Structure 1
Amino acid sequence: MLERFSKWKANLTAADLPDHQVEEGNLPQHVAIIMDGNGRWAKKKGLPRIAGHREGMKVVTKIVRTSSDIGIEVLTLYAFSTENWKRPKKEVDYLLGLPERYLSAELPKLIKNNVQVRLMGTTEHLPDHTLKAVEKAIKDTKHNTGMILNFALNYGSRFEMLEAVKSIGKQIERGELKADTLTEEHIHAQLMTSQLKDPDLLIRTSGEIRLSNFMLWQLAYSEFWFSDILWPDFKEKDFLEAIAVYQKRKRRYGGV
């Protein structure tokens, strides 16, 4: 990983560097991002909201590449929430077409860069073209051993936890588990991220300071980094700034 980081750093120009230097050690293993501000970016420019989502997809490409290059192990992107169905149908349809557009263009590069694609969320109500594109990417990259690119698509944390509770309840009913022996590990095993480490760092753009029903259990001890930058304007340099700030923090997990 250090060799990969050094190779990446050697190719940077002065303009690419954040205000704080990113070090080789102490990188967050799992970074989660709430990509917010596409609609506001478009409105500021007098454009339809879908123009902001289209521009935001270009940023996804850059951040995925940078994350893989510096050695991030898992990158989770909040692509579509269970609450996003409330938006106008035209916008919803466009949002649910983005995974197909992104993967049709980027899948060969993801395979070349040893990135593994995963999906977190419920597939219920997702259009067939979206599911087929994501399932193909998952299948074509399942043997890759580099960064995990985890899309939170049609995902909501309360729904996730509710399903986990139901599953544990059924285990107790069948006598496979006793309520008084239930542990955090049992709950973790039922979550959609059961095979992943909890995020070390959460990034949210656009100036909003809330979690929006995103990984509520998993983010219990994550470091948060909020930016006023709208997602379509978010650059690799801004992402690296978040990493550099993370590296300067002391994580005590309730200790001293």
Structure 2
Amino acid sequence: MAFKEKIDTDKLPRHIAVIMDGNGRWAKGLGKLRIFGHQNGVKAVRATLEATIEIGVPYLTLYAFSSENWNRPKKEVQALMTLLINSLNKELDTLHKHDIRLNAIGQLDDLPANCRTTLFNAMEATRNHTKCTLTLALSYGSRKEIIHATKAIAEKVKAGTLDVEDITEEEFAKHLYTHDIPDPDLMIRTSGEYRISNYLLWQLAYCELWFTDKMWPEFEKEDLFEAVCSYQKRERRFGKTGDQTD
């Protein structure tokens, strides 16, 4: 039986986050340039988004470009920015067709001007779509996000608009880039690496993690369905005992 047929649609994760890893290594294994891997990774993005929509998961977040990725060779970074622009332009009709809202988190001001323009135009064009929210983490680093939130709260305390006693987890979360989307329930990472690489550190506190040895360009719909099946077999206790959650 295919994994999709095993999925209980009443117990779906509300939000799936993905670390799309292995593009460069996959290309190198084929004797190709790293950008070849990134180009083929776009196919996996499309398959993952389609699979998410098919089963009815309303939030999908993809780690597309980390703040540390700026340290990669200049030519590779330029190629990635060009690929981002081309992909956004090419897939805009798909976003409209499937009622998908495009969102982005990270230090977006660090993106080249043409990338920001294309990204913000696509976000504006899809802002009223409601079936699924696709969030791209771009120039994103979770530690910087947490520092950004801390500074914003400190400024409010300094200005007298927020009391120290009122700084709760809920208040802190309001200052994160992800303030308008729920925390992930399931995080998927490809390429056989077992770490979260400065990705959504606050938001992943109670997230279920699923890893695969497949490189990102090899990732298919059935892989996402397998991850969801694994998620549905787990007991999510959130600090409680198993008896309390029954």
- TM-score normalised by L of structure 1: 0.92
- Post-superposition Cα deviations, 1:117-136, rounded to whole Å, max 9, x if no partner, equal 00101122211221111111
- Which residue pairs with 1:213 in the alignment? 198
For residue 234 of structure 2, give the secondary structure of its aligned residue in structure 1.
coil
Asked if structure 1 preserves the Cα contact closer than 8 Å seen for 2:109 and 2:116, the reply is: no
Count of residues paired in the alignment:
241
Asked if structure 2 preserves the Cα contact closer than 8 Å seen for 1:206 and 1:231, the reply is: yes
- Which residue pairs with 2:213 in the alignment? 228
Q: How does 1:66-81 map to 2 (within 5 A)?
A: 66-81=51-66
Q: Which moved more, 1:100-109 or 1:149-158?
A: 100-109
- How much has 1:18 moved relative to structure 2? 2.7
- How much has 1:65 moved relative to structure 2? 1.4
Asked if structure 1 preserves the Cα contact closer than 8 Å seen for 2:4 and 2:225, the reply is: no
Amino acid paired to 1:100: I
Q: How does 1:12-51 map to 2 (within 5 A)?
A: 17-18=2-3, 21-51=6-36
Q: What 5-or-longer segments of structure 2 have no aligned partner?
A: 242-246
Q: What 5-or-longer segments of structure 1 have no aligned partner?
A: 1-13
- Which residue pairs with 1:93 in the alignment? 78
- How much has 1:107 moved relative to structure 2? 0.7
- Which residue pairs with 2:244 in the alignment? none
CA distance in 1, matches of 2:173, 2:110: 26
Match of 1:145 among 122, 127, 130: 130
CA distance in 2, matches of 1:175, 1:37: 47
- Post-superposition Cα deviations, 1:162-219, rounded to whole Å, max 9, x if no partner, equal 0100000001001111213310011100000001110000000001111111000000
Match of 1:185 among 162, 170, 173: 170
Match of 1:105 among 90, 93, 117: 90
Whether 2:161 is the aligned partner of 1:176: answer yes
CA distance in 1, matches of 2:173, 2:75: 36
Q: How does 1:152-167 map to 2 (within 5 A)?
A: 152-167=137-152
Whether 2:230 is the aligned partner of 1:245: answer yes
Match of 2:45 among 60, 66, 76: 60
CA distance in 2, matches of 1:38, 1:202: 18
Q: Flag as ranges the 4+ runs of structure 1 deviating above 2 A.
A: 17-20
CA distance in 1, matches of 2:46, 2:86: 11
For residue 153 of structure 1, give the secondary structure of its aligned residue in structure 2.
strand
CA distance in 2, matches of 1:158, 1:125: 16
What is the root-mean-square deviation of aligned Cα atoms in Å? 1.2
CA distance in 1, matches of 2:83, 2:64: 9
CA distance in 2, matches of 1:125, 1:193: 18
Amino acid paired to 1:173: K
- TM-score normalised by L of structure 2: 0.95
Asked if structure 2 preserves the Cα contact closer than 8 Å seen for 1:203 and 1:242, the reply is: yes
For residue 118 of structure 1, give the secondary structure of its aligned residue in structure 2.
strand
Amino acid paired to 1:30: H
- How much has 1:154 moved relative to structure 2? 0.6
- How much has 1:98 moved relative to structure 2? 2.2
Change (3 A) 1:50 1:226: same
Q: Which moved more, 1:76-85 or 1:19-28?
A: 19-28
- Post-superposition Cα deviations, 1:35-66, rounded to whole Å, max 9, x if no partner, equal 00000000100000000000001110111111
